Chain A
Amino acid sequence: MTDSADDYEHLTPLLSELAGLAEDDPRRPELREELVTGFLPVAKHIARRFAQRGEPQDDLVQVATVGLISAIDRFDPERGSDFLSFAVPTIMGEVRRHFRDTSWSVRVPRRLKELHLAITAATNELSQRAGRAPTPSELAAHLGISRDEVFEGLEASNAYRSSSLDDMLVNTDSTLSLGDTLGEEDAELAGVENREALQPLLRQLPERERAIIVLRFFGNLTQTQIAERVGISQMHVSRLLSRTLAELRAGLLSP
């Protein structure tokens, strides 16, 4: 690290102050923002270390910043350790997870990657216009390509694992807190016979995955409607749903 810990000395009292504030204290957002801005060079520094691995630098800085925010929120000064030794591994973990989650699982030619991106962008645009997912014919007409090319692009999409890149194409300023979409699951689950086994499995899921499962199977929303609410692409919702269902199934089957 070229950054010296002394550069951030002045932020230490702010960290203690933030940790001491109640969840709903009105000064929280301002303090948090000041801390994020103050520690931003740390996130940028880590993002730079992961450059040249084929992901856009802006994405990496964004992901590292998400890691920084989560470190600021979770840091407990009472534990005695200093913030940087807690934050650096947290931020690195976030960036590593990004690399794990967003990459082509097999080598895909550039033409197909571009086709995949074009189809994702067109899907987002057409869904917003029509309020439902487009068909391959509609995508072909919109993009001015053949249906066979759309099929090729959709098949290539199967080789892509969960993608922040897709989601960057979603034009949304969704400020929805996922917590808002939950909360009714207990009532919904009342009708499900194996809920004693299901509930702990649902609780273990990341908040976004749980929200998607509840909205699809208990709220009866389409994937496109969920995509709009959660602020990610339909294809990403589709991938997350399939993966989460398989996990839940494995969990329900294991004794």
Chain B
Amino acid sequence: MSGTGPDVTTSHPRIEVTVSENQSSPEIEVRIAARPDHLSVLRAVAADLAMRADFDLDAISDLKMAVDEACATLISRANSPEDQLVCGFAVEADQIHFTAHAPTSSPAAPSRESFGWRVLSSLTDSANTWVAPGDDGVPVLRVDLVKKRLGSVGQ
């Protein structure tokens, strides 16, 4: 994760990380098989980015847990462990923008009344999820999260 040059790509049998950095906002994309044992990689990426972006320790931990929760949801709703989970992290001036998507077997997005959604919305400043048809017509579940540098709680 230390690549700082433009468009550094490393690959692994199942994990592919792309770092493309323009002047102000580094973007990192992780493509990974939708399997629960890959959650630790995504947590590590989230925590490392937030730490290096100088987020406070609460926010680093919040983002790490939110990414974990979002990806666990995407993985549990994927069609098979062979499906690809695609995660994007954009480090912006005062926030980290996280997007993730994977094919899904259920046509409906996760309920906003669920405990999982309560967790996601408590941990982030903005959380969104929806299902839209992918290129091949298979439904794709998307999650979009924003974590601001200073949390809105208790400041």
Contacts and interface: CB of A to CB of B under 8 A. Distances in A.
Contacts of B116: 249, 252
Nearest to A223: B58
Contact of B69 (A192, A223, A235, A245): A245
B41 interface: no
Contact of B113 (A133, A192, A217, A253): A192
Nearest to A150: B51
Interface string A187-231: 000011111001000000000000000001110111111000000
Contact of A135 (B56, B114, B119, B153): B56
Given A135-B54, A192-B115, A217-B118, A222 B64 contact: no
Chain A interface, >50% SS class: helix
Interface residues of B, number: 30
Interface string B47-70: 100011011111111101100110
A224 B59 CA distance: 10
Contacts of A253: 76
Given A217-B122, A245-B69, A249-B72, A222 B58 contact: yes
A137 B61 CA distance: 16
Given A132-B155, A151-B51, A221-B154, A192 B118 contact: yes
Chain B interface, >50% SS class: helix
Nearest to A239: B61
A132 B56 contact: yes
Nearest to B55: A135
Interface residues of A, number: 38
B51 A132 contact: no
Nearest to A147: B54
Contacts of B68: 242, 245-246
A195 B116 CA distance: 11
Contacts of A252: 115-116
Given A136-B54, A225-B154, 18 more contacts: A132-B56, A133-B57, A134-B57, A137-B54, A191-B113, A192-B113, A192-B114, A217-B118, A220-B122, A220-B153, A222-B154, A223-B62, A224-B154, A238-B57, A245-B68, A245-B119, A249-B69, A249-B116
Interface of B: 47, 51-52, 54-62, 64-65, 68-69, 72, 76, 111, 113-116, 118-119, 122, 151, 153-155
